[in-house]
Amino acid sequence: MTRIVKFFETTLRDGEQTPGINYFAEEKLEIARALADMGFDTLDCGFAISGEPEFEAIRLIARNVSTAEICSICRCFPGDIDRAWEAVQDAAQGSIHPFISTSPLHREAKLGKTRAEVLELARTGVARGRQHTPNVDFALEDTTRTEHDFIFEVIDAVMKEGARFVALCDTVGFALPWEFGELVDEVRREFPTIRISAHCHDDLGLAVANALTALMHGAERVDTCVNGLGERAGNAATEEVVMAIRTRRKDLDLDVRVDTTKIIPTSRLIARLSGMRPQWTKAVVGANAFAHGGGIHQDGVLKDTRTYEIMRPEDIGLPPSERRMFVGKLSGRAALNAQLKELGYDLTPDQLARAFQLVKVILGKKRVLEEMDLRRCAEAAMSPTADVEALALETVGEDGRE
Ligand code: MN
């Protein structure tokens, strides 16, 4: 039976750790509402102990968003754990997420703690959390650089204390997909009843591949951020994981219970509030994700969009009118014709040929055509006396390139 993937949506926590982002409480609430409306299971809303504004923002979300589980993360110290629970305790469904670094590098260089000390903190952290709620998940920070016998020791301890999900974390984006898959296999062999969440970073551009691999190997849940935000190169992008699963669900035998038509509105909301627009070629939500530049591609898409598009714009909430035919140096007559039709020009084949010639001349001198340029081309092409070369010069000015 097709398995429904769960999401630990961390746009409001790891995503806000993106250097340069700082949401105010009302903005965090707006984002939380958008994510809850999309159908994500758990919203990781922040680090309650990190300060008063963050605590207040998490509590505001907990009190106002009831359709998703509201989570705060915490270190394994009693004060952290109690504060995290205090922030989410008013939620219809609240959870807390203690974590500790387990890798030798982090133990020695960052924490200055032995294996035994880290193990004890993990155990007591979960035990303390469980005094507040059964919804205690535990993360082994930097799992993928941790000795496997120690991973097992820690998991054994936290499961005995009643941890619900265990997050295997590729905190520094170091894992290769097959390694991460093997890790999930090994852990599941050792702990058949474990529920795994996969936390993957994108330092090598492998976050989504690692997350999907973990799911294929039996992880139940993935940690993701909209627009791929997060520490450094970011986390596995929510929209990419969602659409990879939805688009290939038959082959993966997985699916999502997410309203994909809210992907673009939510991505744009976060781009606006974070001040960070996704790169143009970003999968799913980039401005060019449904734009076509080459003449052969444009001709194909104009005949049947499926020739070069594996998703439908409407499925992610992108108005079909925003599917762009880019008229550039490499584009063809079909795209130009389509573009001119949208501007209200219906050219004969001869006129189109003249307009096309004019476009190419202009694009030898100017990088990008604007709407006015296209209009001039169409009008010149329709006037039998127009001098194409002279018009091109007039359009771009005497000094040529911008
Ligand atoms: Mn992270």
Closest by CA to 99, choosing from 49, 39, 33, is: 49
The pLDDT of residue 402 is 46
| Cβ neighbours of residue 270 closer than 8 Å, sequence gap 6 or more | 11, 15, 31, 226, 227, 229
Q: Calculate the CA dihedral of residues 50, 53, 58, 59 and round it to 10 degrees.
A: 120
Q: Residue 226: exposed, middle, or buried by beta-carbon count in 10 A (0-12, 13-18, 19+)? A: buried
Lowest mean pLDDT among 94-98, 211-215, 228-232, 330-334: 330-334
- How far does CA 278 lie from the centroid of its chain? 10
How far, in Å, from the CA of 199 to the mean position of ligand 1?
7
The pLDDT of residue 338 is 92
The pLDDT of residue 390 is 72
Q: Is the pLDDT of residue 396 over 70?
A: no
For residue 69, the surrounding DSSP H or E stretch is strand 69-74
pLDDT in tens, 236-260: 999 999 999 999 999 999 999 999 9
Percentage with pLDDT > 70 across the chain:
97
The pLDDT of residue 168 is 98
How far, in Å, from the CA of 170 to the mean position of ligand 1?
8
How far, in Å, from the CA of 269 to the mean position of ligand 1?
22
- 170: its two tokens: 């590729």
Q: Which residues make up the environment of ion ligand 1, defined by Cβ < 5 Å?
A: 14
d(CA 42, CA 60): 16
How far, in Å, from the CA of 271 to the mean position of ligand 1?
20
How far, in Å, from the CA of 230 to the mean position of ligand 1?
7
| Cβ neighbours of residue 354 closer than 8 Å, sequence gap 6 or more | 380, 381, 388
| Cβ neighbours of residue 174 closer than 8 Å, sequence gap 6 or more | 144, 145, 203, 204
Contact 239, 284 (CB under 8 A): yes
Interval 335-345 mean pLDDT: 94
Contact 359, 377 (CB under 8 A): yes
| Cβ neighbours of residue 51 closer than 8 Å, sequence gap 6 or more | none
The pLDDT of residue 322 is 82
How far, in Å, from the CA of 39 to the mean position of ligand 1?
22
Mean pLDDT of the chain: 95
Comma-separated ranges of CATH 3.20.20.70 domains in the chain = 3-274
How far, in Å, from the CA of 147 to the mean position of ligand 1?
19
Q: Is the pLDDT of residue 88 over 70?
A: yes
How far, in Å, from the CA of 124 to the mean position of ligand 1?
22
pLDDT in tens, 147-168: 999 999 999 999 999 999 999 9
Q: Is the pLDDT of residue 261 over 50?
A: yes
For residue 140, the surrounding DSSP H or E stretch is strand 138-141
For residue 159, the surrounding DSSP H or E stretch is helix 148-160
Interval 351-362 mean pLDDT: 93
How far, in Å, from the CA of 107 to the mean position of ligand 1?
17
Contact 47, 72 (CB under 8 A): yes
Band of pLDDT at residue 320, cut at 50, 70 and 90: confident
Amino acid at site 247: T
Contact 189, 148 (CB under 8 A): no
Q: Is the pLDDT of residue 331 over 60?
A: yes
More confident residue, 396 or 139: 139
Q: Is the pLDDT of residue 46 over 80?
A: yes
Q: Is the pLDDT of residue 394 over 90?
A: no
How far, in Å, from the CA of 192 to the mean position of ligand 1?
26
How far, in Å, from the CA of 215 to the mean position of ligand 1?
18
Q: Is the pLDDT of residue 401 over 70?
A: no
The pLDDT of residue 325 is 84
Q: Does domain 3-274 have CATH number 3.20.20.70?
A: yes
The pLDDT of residue 397 is 61
The pLDDT of residue 395 is 66
d(CA 265, CA 242): 15
- 177: its two tokens: 């997909």
How far, in Å, from the CA of 224 to the mean position of ligand 1?
9
The pLDDT of residue 297 is 94
How far, in Å, from the CA of 168 to the mean position of ligand 1?
11
pLDDT in tens, 368-381: 888 999 999 999 99
How far, in Å, from the CA of 223 to the mean position of ligand 1?
9
d(CA 256, CA 40): 9
Interval 56-75 mean pLDDT: 98
Percentage with pLDDT > 90 across the chain:
89
Q: Is the pLDDT of residue 122 over 80?
A: yes
Measured from the Cβ of residue 385, the count of other Cβ atoms closer than 10 Å reads 5
